[in-house]
A and B are shown apart, each in its own frame.
Chain A
Amino acid sequence: MKSRRDILKLAGAAAMAASVPGCRKTEKPLLESFSTATLDPLHSYPYRSWEDLYRKQWTWDKVVRSTHSANCTGSCSWRVYVREGVMVREEQAADYPKINATLPDYNPRGCQKGACFVEYVYGPQRLKSPLIRVGARGEGKWRKASWDEALTLIADKLLDNIYNYGPDTNAFFSVIPAMSPVSFCAGSRLAHYIGGVFCSFYDWYCDLPPGEPLTWGVQTEACETADWFNSRYIVLWGSNISQTRIPDAHFAYEARYNGAKLVCISPDFNSSAVHADLFLQINPGTDAALALAVAKHIIDSKLYDEPYIKEQTDLPLLVVKETGRFLRPEGVADVFYYRDAKSGQVKEAPGSMGSKTKSISLGGDDPDLHARFTHNGKEVVTVFELLKEKLAPYTIEAVAAQTGLAENDIRLFAQEFGTRRPAMIIHGAGTNHWFHNDLINRAFILLVALTGNVGRNGGGFNHYVGQERIWPERGFRAYAFPEGPKKQRFQNTTLWTYVHSSNKDPHLYNGKPIEHYIEESIKNGWMPLYPKNRKQKPRAMIIWRANYLNQAKGNEYILNSLWKDLDLIVDINFRMDTTALHSDVVLPAATYYEKIDLNTTDCHSYIHPFSKVLDPLYDSKTDWEIFKELSAKISQRATERDLKPYRDEQFGWERDFTRTYFQWSGQGKFKSDEDAANFILANSPETKGMQYGMLQQGPRRFVATDEEAWTSDIKPGQAYTPFQHQVERKKPWRTLTGRQQFYIDHPWFLELGEQLPIYRQPLAESAKYPFFWNTPHGRWSIHSTWRDSRYQLRLQRGIPIVYMHPDDAKERGIRDNDWVKVFNDHGHLVTKVQILPGEKRRRLTMYHGWERYLGFLQGGWQAPTYVKIKPTQLVGGYGHVNFRLNYWGPTGNNRDIRVDIAKYTPTAAEMKVILRSRDRKGAEKA
């Protein structure tokens, strides 16, 4: 098979044969019949026929529109160019229709990574045939296997586990349906029909902003990025859009030219800060303190939107002072009260979960924000007044000291936030990956709610980390889990990983270890834990569209516990990533350019598909095809082994595995991946009337929104922003109180003093390690994808880099490009350092996603981390706060970790690793 490189060689060689006889100047070309002395090439040049050389280079035989699914939230439309049967390059299609004439358009969406994906199609990391491990896990020794052999091995093992240990010992892990739902569902359907455990990703990767389910009763709602342009005040808070939202960042910088002010809040002077009007170089983890100082200023200066907060938030609701619980009627739950200032009477707040009124319209009432009185012998007070008490310590002076910011800057920031509308917070992992992320989120949301910015174009709290939201959700759900979510084992992966590995959180919470809260939560039925039989352990794990091991917090613990306990690890992948390398069976998947699928993002309001530029190369198959064949193999083996149906007690489901394929294929309805795509499209209001084939021509905007899934309509000529149903149509918020709820009176929140947003310091696990370990998303990879791409690495430093401030480096005698060891009690890593003046002192940064197998002399970027769970994220049984896959469950936070760093001298053995391939320069040219 011809490679990309061959094609370019051919082009080059042909060109040179014509121009340089004998190539180098050993044989000079005959002098043309002119005197160079008379030539005036500044004005005229006669010998231009050679120009065809480059004209020919920009030619192709075929161009196909497709996209990528690397969990980047890009959802970018690309054209892939094919010459002589080989994909040679790609270019953004730039074919998104305009929303209206005023808003800048979405073109060209894409980044430098999408611009070189073909490297993976033909590169040395590509998986070309099924492999079965022959060495130790992770050693990289394999034997080639046939599909039949590999699938038989897997099918038998899954069946054995079900009959011997229970179906909940088989775990399935795949991320982000939005980026390729057909590929996702192919596996989730199989998990569904064989009773497997389906593991979450969005909370586990800590991209879920837990403050949103707590305050708004939603997973994550954000405006599409074109709406940034409608803003007058944009705060980049924990979000480095120049690096992590490459296709969208222009909207913010263009909004600035349109009259918005741009504020960047970050500990480092990052690539987005360079373009800000105001840069706040905040101390790591102190963001909530700053937000609460701003909230205090807004309240003290009466800059809040009074009618808005009376109607849209729980701030006027009454709380019983003694118990800290909302004032509720006897015996009837979920009804709440405010005092109407006009009549002076205590009235039921409309629109709560227990209210008969399905609207939050006040109907002429004027709820008193400041009420404080005795009601039926109980002292009651409004949430607003309680909030004011809580905010008292957050003076600008005190917070300036905590955050390391200048008082002048905080004061102007607070004043502008309160006065420039619409104002929005663009929120990212920088603030969301902390242990106290729920509190940080809630403090930020408070700001945009106080100022009436939520539910308005150009305003709001817009969180973008992970492509979590699938627009055609109804069709997706029906295809992914056909018998419904109640018949599926869903598992929060943070909890699963913590319990099934040797991770141990040393902290006490209110004097108790986290295990106390975990057991309580499981006992109360708040969080599920599989296997249900606590004597069992997970036995098999099937991973596709994900790199579980490399990305897992507590890497070292997992490798030494969970990874040893699993009897079978299967990885379905187009490249050998770290998880694949540490697997037992590797199945070669088609790349993004060899499959049919759909693609959506929360960053824009269009859908567009993957197309097969070429059929799957080598012996690879699409994810859909692989799960189809695995389902068929399970049925075949169940028949051959004469397996009687398995009685699954949890659901009362007689599982007849001889029929698994029949079920998986929808009784034969889903004959191809295109059928699956069309099913999802046809069963979702967003994509009514659309078919896969027509989408191949280019992105189409959604035509409507599913009222149950979304909070605004999609309107022609207007950028999508959430919560217009609540703000404009007065539909209740999906919370216990039917309002944006800042007061959570769940007993655990009261116990831990977090009923209202407050600031808590990062976990100080050990004073002996002075540096925060910061692993943000960066420009050079999408998680681990492209981390091993040679095209990308040549524009970095070739191996993983730890960044540190020059003064910290000086103190430790470390110089740029030295080998260093980063360590704490959990693990360590050895790689090179770069001195970065924009880095915050006492913090080390390594962009996340580096593969363990590349560049590190020891360890990996997750080696110093461990899994730790926040008790308040284990709760359930509270109105809108209940476990739901990827919506509510403990997040796998990682920013509170501390480490130390020292210069490192490689051992003789390591020097061999560093120098050994010197003699083989170019040996592996792709």
Chain B
Amino acid sequence: MFQHQYAMVLDLNKCLGCQTCTMACKKLWTDGDGMDYMYWNNVETRPGQGYPRKWDQIGGGFENGKLRPSEIPSREDYGQPFQYNYEERMFQGGLQVMPHEPVENTPNWDEDVGALMLGENYYFYLPRLCNHCTNPACLAACPRNAIYKREEDGIVLIDQERCEGYRYCMRACPYKKIYFNELLGKAQKCIFCYPRLEKGEVNACARQCPGRLRFVGLLDDPGSAVHKLVHVYKVALGLFPEKGTEPNVFYVPPFNPPRRGNYGKSILDDPRMPLDYLVYLFGEQVTDVIRRLEAELKKAQDGAPSEVLQLLIGRDEEVRYQIPKRESLVQITNAQIQPLRRA
């Protein structure tokens, strides 16, 4: 049985939509051959089509304990990794620099779009990565048993030696966070930066996040910020809990400001962003979380500090990340759970 579980909490009320996480991940892990179209970490505007397009509507995950596989998204759904004719234009007297084909879709196609309700716009940014689920559908679906959950930290990996590229995992994942490298014939996905964590360095997407909205640690470490946000303050929720995979990436749900003329009213009273949409993404609990967060915000703005908001301020890396030393994780297999030592 895996003994510990890494988790990440993302506070959507701090997200800038700047894609520094996306770029950090791209440059570190997916800049090689066959990977141009893949972004293990992406940020999408919600409501919106998402990346890959309509990933949230096509299926995956479990239903009554059984896998509910979907179609595999098409290359078009992921967006085009186009090239340009720079040299021709700049150094050879050629025509305008253009993508090598007309662009019809990209991973961030509907950036900042969102939707209109009663004439007013609403949206928020949703950064996404592999959820390193407690009950991973990808793992259950792999006929080759090449996907596993690391016992020491719960990170879900696709064995790049044993993967045969059958792509059952891609059908099974409800979040569509597994990608196929056509050149190598392998399924690939977010590895939760295990090489970094093993050396006490937090994930690139978190460490490079200028919005400072990511919290990383072991969910079962009572001293970790992620534990407190998920289990103590209960302000962070997983995406699509009904899909049955028990994701370990959690989100502090987003607010939007009140509608025109509503300043002074509760955001639950005639909200700019329909609550139904948040319930769709995060489940029924979201209403209660929003209500409590709003009360905390009001408390803080009236001059009384809020404990949970003080934690979400995340003043420095020590507040946001609790990365244990690797030895304390590896040794647990032959002993009872030791108090964790921090890196």
* A interface residues with partner B (beta carbon < 8 Å): 4-5, 8-9, 11-12, 15-16, 18-20, 23-25, 28-29, 32, 36, 39, 41-45, 47-48, 50-51, 53-55, 57-58, 88-92, 94, 98, 102-105, 107-112, 115-116, 123-125, 135, 139-142, 242-243, 246-247, 249-250, 253-254, 256-261, 264, 269-271, 273-279, 281, 405-406, 408-409, 412-413, 576, 581, 779, 788, 790-791, 793-799, 806, 817, 834-838, 851, 853-857, 912-918, 920-925
A4 — which chain B residues lie within 8 A by C-beta? 31
Name the residue of chain A whose CB is nearest to the CB of B308.
A257
B263 — which chain A residues lie within 8 A by C-beta? 277-278, 406, 408-409, 412-413
Chain A CB within 8 A of B83 CB: yes
Name the residue of chain A whose CB is nearest to the CB of B2.
A43
Chain A CB within 8 A of B65 CB: no
Chain A CB within 8 A of B14 CB: yes
State in angstroms the CA–CA spacing of A269 and B114 once bound together.
10
State in angstroms the CA–CA spacing of A243 and B86 once bound together.
27
Chain A CB within 8 A of B123 CB: yes
Chain A CB within 8 A of B207 CB: yes
State in angstroms the CA–CA spacing of A374 and B136 once bound together.
86
Chain A CB within 8 A of B95 CB: yes
11 intermolecular pairs with C-beta atoms under 8 Å apart: A16-B184, A41-B147, A58-B195, A115-B20, A259-B303, A274-B125, A409-B261, A790-B84, A856-B96, A914-B98, A921-B83
State in angstroms the CA–CA spacing of A836 and B109 once bound together.
12
Chain A CB within 8 A of B257 CB: yes
Q: Are B29 and A57 in contact (CB under 8 A)?
A: yes
B101 — which chain A residues lie within 8 A by C-beta? 915, 917-918, 921
State in angstroms the CA–CA spacing of A109 and B211 once bound together.
9
State in angstroms the CA–CA spacing of A95 and B61 once bound together.
42
Which of A47, A105, A243, A854 makes the CB contact (< 8 A) with B97? A854
Closest CB in chain A relative to B152 CB, distance in Å: 10
Among B139, B309, B315, which residue has the most Cβ atoms of chain A within 10 A?
A: B315
Chain A CB within 8 A of B312 CB: yes
Among A41, A98, A135, A779, which residue has the most Cβ atoms of chain B within 10 A?
A: A41
Contacts A140-B92, A257-B306, A917-B85 given: A112-B20 contact, CB under 8 Å?
A: yes
Q: Are A257 and B98 in contact (CB under 8 A)?
A: no
**Chain B 83-108, CB within 8 Å of chain A: the 1/0 string?**
11111111111111111111110111
**Chain B 9-52, CB within 8 Å of chain A: the 1/0 string?**
00001101111101110111101110000000000000000000
Q: Are B148 and A23 in contact (CB under 8 A)?
A: no
Q: Are B184 and A42 in contact (CB under 8 A)?
A: no
Which of A24, A28, A253, A855 makes the CB contact (< 8 A) with B98? A855
* B interface residues with partner A (beta carbon < 8 Å): 1-2, 13-14, 16-20, 22-24, 26-29, 31-33, 79-104, 106-109, 111-116, 120-125, 136, 139-140, 142, 144-151, 157, 159-162, 164-165, 184-186, 191, 193-196, 198, 204, 207-212, 254-258, 260-264, 297, 300-303, 305-306, 309-310, 312-317
A139 — which chain B residues lie within 8 A by C-beta? 93
B91 — which chain A residues lie within 8 A by C-beta? 140, 142, 576
Name the residue of chain B whose CB is nearest to the CB of A795.
B108
State in angstroms the CA–CA spacing of A58 and B146 once bound together.
23
* Prevailing SS type, chain B contact patch: loop
Q: Are B261 and A108 in contact (CB under 8 A)?
A: no
Q: Are A581 and B257 in contact (CB under 8 A)?
A: no
Interface pairs A-B: 8 shortest CB-CB: A41-B148, A406-B261, A45-B148, A838-B121, A257-B309, A798-B103, A112-B23, A279-B257
Name the residue of chain A whose CB is nearest to the CB of B196.
A58
Name the residue of chain A whose CB is nearest to the CB of B306.
A257
Q: Are B23 and A791 in contact (CB under 8 A)?
A: yes
State in angstroms the CA–CA spacing of A915 and B98 once bound together.
9
A5 — which chain B residues lie within 8 A by C-beta? 31
A276 — which chain B residues lie within 8 A by C-beta? 257
Q: Are B97 and A788 in contact (CB under 8 A)?
A: yes
Closest CB in chain A relative to B16 CB, distance in Å: 4
Q: Are A253 and B83 in contact (CB under 8 A)?
A: no
A54 — which chain B residues lie within 8 A by C-beta? 29, 191, 194-195
Which of A98, A270, A853 makes the CB contact (< 8 A) with B89? A853
Q: Are A42 and B208 in contact (CB under 8 A)?
A: no
Q: Are B260 and A409 in contact (CB under 8 A)?
A: yes
Q: Are B264 and A817 in contact (CB under 8 A)?
A: no
State in angstroms the CA–CA spacing of A853 and B94 once bound together.
10
Contacts A576-B91, A913-B96 given: A278-B29 contact, CB under 8 Å?
A: no
Contacts A43-B2, A837-B116 given: A20-B210 contact, CB under 8 Å?
A: no
Q: Are A23 and B20 in contact (CB under 8 A)?
A: no
Name the residue of chain B whose CB is nearest to the CB of A55.
B195
Contacts A250-B14, A837-B113 given: A92-B161 contact, CB under 8 Å?
A: no
Q: Are A107 and B317 in contact (CB under 8 A)?
A: yes
Which of A243, A412, A795, A853 makes the CB contact (< 8 A) with B264? A412
